């Protein structure tokens, strides 16, 4: 996608002209997210699941919990692994095959937001120190792509984790044995919320849709926790930000984050 | 962050860090340029215990051909760690981490280079981490900028990079490996001083909004110190009498 077509240039001109009037191509204000709808428990076979739809971007997240060996230097903690995939049905340009750098970045940014916030208390997920721990796998699949996969993926994964249940295992003869019907809630300490913003010229817009996404100069994803602190950040795109712009983005991420956190809380409450 | 080595004192009562530095002090940085014969531009950096070699080729013909852009030259970056660069042997195949770092470094350099005059070509930047000691992406980005300048690639500014973070409840400049593992936050920053633009920014760890702002400002101070060392390396090659210009 190194060639920019004439259509892209026209689109950028249109989007920029609207921004100068304080408007966006889909009628939102600059710091407004698209409507977020989260359904939980959509995959009964998973230990926890959620479908998040942000505008027309849709991601399904499924949690699988199973015993695993700990990482060598982390024998007193459970394992958390987060993956992402853009399914070929999500967009005409999506292809099968090994993951591209942008998809690897997506999975790692979502993983970092959840991990660095300490959302899951992994120290409660140890079966036998240094030998056997519980692994929590969050696998996220993009089913419809209309921009800002970072936030959608984060919301789906976070909602799925909150509603997930951890089965009980006991160590017998050095092997974990599953105890039937003895599930417990996943130990949650905070709710991380990712807020992605893009820069077009000097305008900062929240939650860019795909048309906007394709003409961003640079983007930034900031994750905040329930205390309103910043826990993870990733700048992307082929240009930069000034210090003032970054500080402004951090303020937006905190205020938008607290609103979105309420939506996630409500969606996960019934569980 | 992990908080693994609880016995390690990251910041003592006198405000001295585990490697003897003050909170606002970077590690020792040495940059040499023009260190490779075959590359069009090259640089070697020692950033504390990090030892990194950067080589630049191009603008040159692009392979595979379908990547060619008729309107501009393109930039490609490969960040790669040697198997012997870390404590336990690293699998030489590119990991997901290395692919992500390659991408963020490429995006950090992109605003600095002017490649519109070289359509259909590529500029390849190879970053080889010979020894890693925390903060490799910043050190690699520093070396990459110098190597690009050494290769004569037109640039708007050099990108300089340095991390800031939090350990022992204090904001610190240039996070080392121990502080990255056991500290509270690590924030690598890439910066173009002449344009006042932040082109690389990542964060792992928890910061309050106030700490966040101070942390970026501290990191930018570190970037500016590295910038002087980058310029000195280029001056030593191109403007000294006994310089070994190619």
pLDDT in tens, A178-230: 998 899 999 999 999 999 999 999 999 999 999 999 999 999 999 999 999 99
* Contact between A212 and A15 (Cβ < 8 Å): yes
- Tell me which architecture the domain covering A19-269 has in CATH: 2-Layer Sandwich (3.30)
ipTM for this model: 0.79
CB-CB: which of A72, A116, A230 is closest to B212?
A230
Using a 10 angstrom Cβ sphere, with 0-12 exposed, 13-18 middle and 19 or more buried, the burial of residue B82 is middle
Distance CA A82, CA A188 (A): 16
Residue B200 with chain A: CB contacts under 8 Å = 235
Query: Nearest residue of A to residue B184 by CA position?
Result: A116
What is the DSSP pairing of strand B121-131 with strand B74-81? parallel
Region B29-37 average pLDDT: 95
Which chain B residue has the Cα nearest residue A231?
B206
Count of C-beta atoms within a 10 Å radius of residue B229: 18
User: Between B70, B110, B204, which is nearest A112 by CB?
Assistant: B204
Which residues of A have a CB under 8 Å from any CB of B? 2-4, 72-74, 101-102, 104-105, 107-108, 112, 116-118, 220, 225, 228-243, 246-247, 250-251, 254
The verdict on a CB contact (< 8 Å) between B202 and A242 is no
Q: Once rounded to an integer, what is the mean pLDDT over residues B206-224? A: 97
Q: pLDDT above 70 covers what percent of chain B?
A: 95
Q: B29-238 in CATH: which number? A: 3.30.230.70
Tell me, what's the pLDDT at A8?
81
Nearest to A235 among B4, B201, B206 (CB): B201
Q: Does B74 contact A at CB distance below 8 Å?
A: yes
Annotated domain spans of chain B:
29-238
Residue-wise pLDDT tens digits, A39-68: 999 999 899 999 999 999 999 999 999 999
The pTM of the whole model exceeds 0.90: no
Please tell me the predicted confidence (pLDDT) of residue B242: 54
- The average confidence (pLDDT) of chain B is 93
Task: Assess contact for B43 and B147: CB atoms under 8 A.
Answer: yes
Give the start-to-end residue ranges of the domains of chain A. Answer: 19-269
Q: What is the pLDDT of residue B3?
A: 45
Q: Which of B131, B148, B152 is nearest to B192 (CA)?
A: B148
């Amino acid at each position: 996608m190194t060639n920019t077509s004439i259509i892209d240039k026209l689109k950028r001109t249109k989007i920029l002209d609207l921004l100068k009037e304080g408007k966006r191509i889909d009628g939102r204000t600059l710091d407004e997210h698209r409507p977020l709808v989260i359904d939980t428990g959509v995959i009964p076979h998973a230990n926890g699941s959620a479908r998040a739809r942000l505008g027309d971007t849709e991601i399904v997240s499924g949690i699988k919990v199973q015993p695993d060996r700990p990482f060598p230097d982390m024998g007193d903690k459970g394992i958390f692994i987060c993956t992402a995939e853009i399914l070929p049905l999500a967009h005409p340009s999506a292809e099968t095959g090994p993951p591209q750098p942008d998809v690897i970045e997506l999975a790692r940014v979502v993983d970092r937001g959840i991990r660095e916030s300490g959302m899951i208390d992994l120290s409660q997920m140890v079966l036998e120190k240094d030998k056997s721990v519980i692994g929590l796998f969050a696998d996220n699949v993009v089913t419809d792509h209309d921009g800002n996969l970072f936030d959608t993926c984060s919301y789906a994964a976070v909602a799925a984790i909150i509603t997930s249940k951890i089965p009980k295992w006991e160590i017998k003869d050095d092997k974990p044995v599953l105890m039937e019907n003895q599930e417990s809630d996943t130990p949650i300490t905070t709710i991380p919320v990712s807020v992605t913003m893009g820069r077009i010229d000097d305008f900062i817009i929240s939650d860019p849709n795909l048309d906007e996404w394709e003409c961003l100069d640079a983007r930034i994803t900031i994750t905040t926790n329930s205390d309103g602190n910043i826990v993870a950040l990733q700048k992307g795109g082929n240009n930069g930000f000034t210090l003032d712009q970054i500080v402004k983005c951090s303020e937006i991420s905190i205020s938008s984050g607290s609103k979105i956190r309420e939506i996630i809380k409500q969606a996960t409450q019934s569980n | 962050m992990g908080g693994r080595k609880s016995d390690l004192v990251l910041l003592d009562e006198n405000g001295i860090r585990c490697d003897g530095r003050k909170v606002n002090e970077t590690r020792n940085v040495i940059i040499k340029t023009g260190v490779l014969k075959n590359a069009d531009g090259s640089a070697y950096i020692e950033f504390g215990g990090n030892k990194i070699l950067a080589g630049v080729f191009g603008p040159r013909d692009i392979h595979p051909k379908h990547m060619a852009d008729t309107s501009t030259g393109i930039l490609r970056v490969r960040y790669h760690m040697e198997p012997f660069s870390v404590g336990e042997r690293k699998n030489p195949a590119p990991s997901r981490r290395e692919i992500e770092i390659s991408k963020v470094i490429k995006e950090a350099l992109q605003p600095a280079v002017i490649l519109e005059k070289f359509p259909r070509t590529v500029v390849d930047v190879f970053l080889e981490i010979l020894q890693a000691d925390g903060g490799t992406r910043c050190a690699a980005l520093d070396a990459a900028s110098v190597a690009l300048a050494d290769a004569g690639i037109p640039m708007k500014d050099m990108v300089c990079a340095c991390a800031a973070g939090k350990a022992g409840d204090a904001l610190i400049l240039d996070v080392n490996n121990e502080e990255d593992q056991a500290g509270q936050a690590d924030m690598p920053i890439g910066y173009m001083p002449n344009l006042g633009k932040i082109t690389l920014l990542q964060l792992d760890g928890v910061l309050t909004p106030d700490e966040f702002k101070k942390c970026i400002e501290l990191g930018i101070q570190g970037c500016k110190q590295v910038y002087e060392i980058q310029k000195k390396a280029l001056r030593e090659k191109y403007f000294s009498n006994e310089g070994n210009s190619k």
